[in-house]
Structure 1
């Protein structure tokens, strides 16, 4: 069916156009002593979009950013698609080779690098296949690690890039096709190489509105950027807060004392983050009862009832959501029910720790068996969680085989296992794969094992997640050495850190003489994991 000409494509670009028209003088972004109104936010966006076009960036191209949560990365969420391109916000915790892979795989034309992170790019600067220019961005406003570092990379600085364009916004705040790719977000590589997840303008628009509704944003919202913008475009919150004309408070480094200070000094009303952020906040010496309402939206690992209870004791209202990179971030929400009003604190926290029901912008979620039949809603029968709809990815960039596999039977297969309760709420019980969720980031055990096995003295390995008070869980490696080898754990961990991102390296190495195996020689990781989690409940991604 042909769409009538008076129906315009959905795009989050319209959110900034509206905010700049309705709230031109209102503060849009605060960052230390720096402040931008919505009119200035829009002006910066138009200028950057024009500069990108003048630099040869056009429709279908990709522009990569390696940056903390600064105003420039927030502006890029609007300016890059305004130029007709797709934003690739790169995980700031990755190793040089991982950054190179993402730039090459995405075909990024430009790479904008905060100079505080340039040490990651220096070793690969001359080996980027598609990047024509590396642009150095000096953060002269923020405080924290790397702020204000002088540029060392080849290529222009950010001010020089901006000088190339004019302020011509003649193309307008719209797109020709709402299914064009607005961004490409890379998975954490839970099965090896990360995949490029393509978001459409339509999906981003709708998911942002879902965030507005379920996180209860209003024009009075003051949102603190504790969640990385590189992670699912900050769960689409970059667009959501702008949609209602709220205020973004950017934060370069996530430190609990700084967060508590900003909550008070900036009158913060909302923040998002993995449960590990909640643990840091609740256990910080700066923790104190909140002077005003604070909505905390959490996901990335299922929050324990204990941490939910503690945050609510401090006065925070917890919104628990669940999703994946492939679903624009949050897809379900543990919606509070009136019937829970009389529940005691422990029971309420337990109810809130479930993954819940589909958000308002999403299709109903299902838990299915191997034949794609719904499992009984008995809270006991385990099945796989599947999704579909407007806020499920377009597909994996340049990977039609993986896309087809992910959508077997016409639904996106999450790989997460769960149960369906009689009230329609889902609850995850395990993962189909041995993914470790550490601080909200997925770690592939296969990737870690391969890094361990690259050491010439290692014979066999098995990696599992073990409990960690701060990060939820961290990798532990069980290692068999070759006969006659002499190697200590610290040296092996350093070897792994030279191969992959440091946060993926094992926290502990245990040398063993044998590993539990099946008759066919397959290592039985569940036996190793069971011993490590004895007496504790292993909670998983939320």
Structure 2
């Protein structure tokens, strides 16, 4: 990719080269071609600049579920030289407010079902609920290229959390996003050259992979009404397949069920890109059996270097020597194009193959730093390498296997859950003296959070009470699924909780008050 540094140039170039190609589709209908998508993105950007007074570099928060208007908002923000802050639509309103406050966004574009709760948070940002209003207020916008930006200017704030539990905005520059897109085009190749069916949130890897299909001039397809079920998959795949999609392991496991994706539709699946959480080898073998190795591609990354650390290619999913194939399927693949990956010891010294250490990454895809957090930036990027906090080892063939996560991250169905955030929410309950949250293996979700709780003397508390409390503090997907009430938490001589010793019977939330997922 050459030309303007603005990542919106992807859309501008495609609109010039393939103006009549389908760009945004819902169900079986084409809503906009690339000429229309570019025009609406220009209008969104113009309204943000001139109607709402935003200046280049200002942040625009996106509290949006997957809808056909998502691409024009995202590209409209960039077209105007602004910084997009896409947020997980499953967050609690308080969590939305925290991220909006942290990045200093003056405008938040929200889908209707989220807007009311956001306005109740007393935000400093204006909450906009309809893109049509933005387009109408912009009026006639002359055709022209996206705003000039420098390659190192921020484009996307990708909120992630560390061991402190405080979400941090990984600052992805226009150079970072362009490099990640080029990496996808190179490493996935023909696998990305198809209609992209959005069944995963555009606020995360699904949106980043979607940029590569915009560069290819392919349709962005949304299941009707944002619902992913047998009917909507059938409708979209028959209209626009063979299609490529990104799926977290939870969704990939569900797609193994012919009730959701019938055998007759398998030839409408072009490629399945998957990642975002650990994948059990047995499930992966089942995916190979159902989709075929030639359709599967896995990416491993973090928000700080989005999906651009290693990859497991289609040819890595097959083989005749079972033991070697098993090792590959248990790995996250080989190093991606354009990045360097090292395994280092506690002193930052590279270790040989077969030795476990921390995964570190260097390259054009690595973030500029954390938004307004120089201390965390210095720790994460020390020595010029991104220190991921993941522990792993390379084998002699260059395949990386992850063995642990130093940050205690819990990944449930592809969504990150940080124990410290959940622990802090529990500690805000007056009957909780101490709390520790760990991940427990789950056959459907990969992992689910379990809370170990020490109650305040004389203040008994139940799992159902804590369930209700957490639902008032956190996104539903972050709440503990089970509790163990203990007299004390195991600690070392420095007072640090020894989470490896947190075992034993747990008390699930009563079924009547428990909704999984």
Normalising by structure 1, report the TM-score: 0.86
Q: Look up the match of 1:77.
A: 74
Q: Look up the match of 1:148.
A: none
**Bigger shift: 329-338 or 12-21?**
329-338
Q: Using the alignment, how far apart are the partners of 1:284 and 1:497 within structure 2?
A: 34
**Bigger shift: 405-414 or 474-483?**
474-483
| TM-aligned CA deviation for residue 69 of structure 1 | 1.4
- Quote the RMSD (CA, aligned, Å): 2.4
Q: Using the alignment, how far apart are the partners of 2:396 and 2:192 within structure 1?
A: 37
Q: Look up the match of 1:146.
A: none
State the secondary structure of the residue aligned to 2:138: coil
Alpha carbons 2:81, 2:146 under 8 Å: kept: no
Q: Look up the match of 2:512.
A: none
Q: Look up the match of 2:129.
A: 136
Q: Using the alignment, how far apart are the partners of 2:60 and 2:157 within structure 1?
A: 10
Of residues 17, 23, 31 in structure 2, which corresponds to 1:28? Answer: 23
Alpha carbons 2:340, 2:361 under 8 Å: kept: yes
Q: Using the alignment, how far apart are the partners of 1:96 and 1:298 within structure 2?
A: 29
State the secondary structure of the residue aligned to 2:230: helix
Q: Using the alignment, how far apart are the partners of 2:363 and 2:498 within structure 1?
A: 37
Q: Look up the match of 2:515.
A: none
| TM-aligned CA deviation for residue 28 of structure 1 | 1.1
Q: Using the alignment, how far apart are the partners of 2:145 and 2:116 within structure 1?
A: 37
Q: Look up the match of 2:434.
A: 460
Q: Using the alignment, how far apart are the partners of 1:180 and 1:314 within structure 2?
A: 43
Q: Look up the match of 1:66.
A: 63
**CA deviation profile, 1:157-184 (whole Å, cap 9, x unmatched):** x333222224434652362412111111
| TM-aligned CA deviation for residue 485 of structure 1 | 2.5
**CA deviation profile, 1:486-511 (whole Å, cap 9, x unmatched):** 32111111111211212111000122
| TM-aligned CA deviation for residue 188 of structure 1 | 4.3
| TM-aligned CA deviation for residue 423 of structure 1 | 0.8
Alpha carbons 2:439, 2:450 under 8 Å: kept: yes
Q: Look up the match of 2:499.
A: 525
1:376 aligns with 2:352: yes
1:163 aligns with 2:136: yes
**CA deviation profile, 1:77-134 (whole Å, cap 9, x unmatched):** 211111110111111111111111111111112111110222431321xx213x1x22
**Bigger shift: 429-438 or 301-310?**
301-310
State the secondary structure of the residue aligned to 2:279: coil
| TM-aligned CA deviation for residue 421 of structure 1 | 0.7
Map 1:313-352 onto structure 2 (within 5 A). Answer: 313-316=289-292, 317-335=295-313, 341-344=319-322, 348=325, 350-352=327-329
Cα pair distance change 1:521/1:13, threshold 3 Å? closer
Q: Using the alignment, how far apart are the partners of 2:368 and 2:161 within structure 1?
A: 18
Map 1:179-190 onto structure 2 (within 5 A). Answer: 179-188=152-161
Q: Using the alignment, how far apart are the partners of 2:116 and 2:440 within structure 1?
A: 31
Q: Using the alignment, how far apart are the partners of 1:107 and 1:204 within structure 2?
A: 21
**CA deviation profile, 1:346-371 (whole Å, cap 9, x unmatched):** 853641341222211x3221111122
Alpha carbons 2:85, 2:156 under 8 Å: kept: yes
Q: Using the alignment, how far apart are the partners of 1:302 and 1:219 within structure 2?
A: 22
Alpha carbons 2:484, 2:505 under 8 Å: kept: no
Cα pair distance change 1:266/1:397, threshold 3 Å? same
State the secondary structure of the residue aligned to 1:367: strand
**CA deviation profile, 1:275-310 (whole Å, cap 9, x unmatched):** 111112113623333124531111111211222222
Q: Using the alignment, how far apart are the partners of 2:192 and 2:468 within structure 1?
A: 48
Larger helix fraction of residues: 2
1:111 aligns with 2:108: yes
Count of residues in correspondence between the two structures: 497
State the secondary structure of the residue aligned to 1:54: helix
Alpha carbons 1:309, 1:349 under 8 Å: kept: no
Q: Look up the match of 1:226.
A: 199
Cα pair distance change 1:231/1:184, threshold 3 Å? same
Map 1:269-348 onto structure 2 (within 5 A). Answer: 269-283=243-257, 285-289=259-263, 290-316=266-292, 317-335=295-313, 341-344=319-322, 348=325
Cα pair distance change 1:338/1:134, threshold 3 Å? closer
**Bigger shift: 292-301 or 346-355?**
346-355
Of residues 33, 54, 57 in structure 2, which corresponds to 1:57? Answer: 54
Q: Look up the match of 2:513.
A: none
Q: Look up the match of 2:41.
A: 45
Alpha carbons 1:305, 1:350 under 8 Å: kept: no
Alpha carbons 1:256, 1:284 under 8 Å: kept: no
State the secondary structure of the residue aligned to 1:216: helix
| TM-aligned CA deviation for residue 392 of structure 1 | 0.3
State the secondary structure of the residue aligned to 2:137: coil
**Bigger shift: 218-227 or 394-403?**
218-227
Cα pair distance change 1:75/1:348, threshold 3 Å? farther
| TM-aligned CA deviation for residue 219 of structure 1 | 8.5
Q: Using the alignment, how far apart are the partners of 2:254 and 2:218 within structure 1?
A: 26
Q: Using the alignment, how far apart are the partners of 1:526 and 1:193 within structure 2?
A: 23
Map 1:135-154 onto structure 2 (within 5 A). Answer: 135-137=128-130
Q: Using the alignment, how far apart are the partners of 2:468 and 2:144 within structure 1?
A: 51
Normalising by structure 2, report the TM-score: 0.90
Q: Look up the match of 1:239.
A: 211
**Bigger shift: 74-83 or 206-215?**
206-215
Of residues 11, 18, 33 in structure 1, which corresponds to 2:13? Answer: 18
Q: Using the alignment, how far apart are the partners of 2:229 and 2:186 within structure 1?
A: 27
Unpaired segments of 5 or more residues in structure 1?
A: 1-6, 138-157, 533-542
Alpha carbons 1:25, 1:38 under 8 Å: kept: yes
Alpha carbons 1:219, 1:246 under 8 Å: kept: no
Q: Using the alignment, how far apart are the partners of 1:21 and 1:448 within structure 2?
A: 48
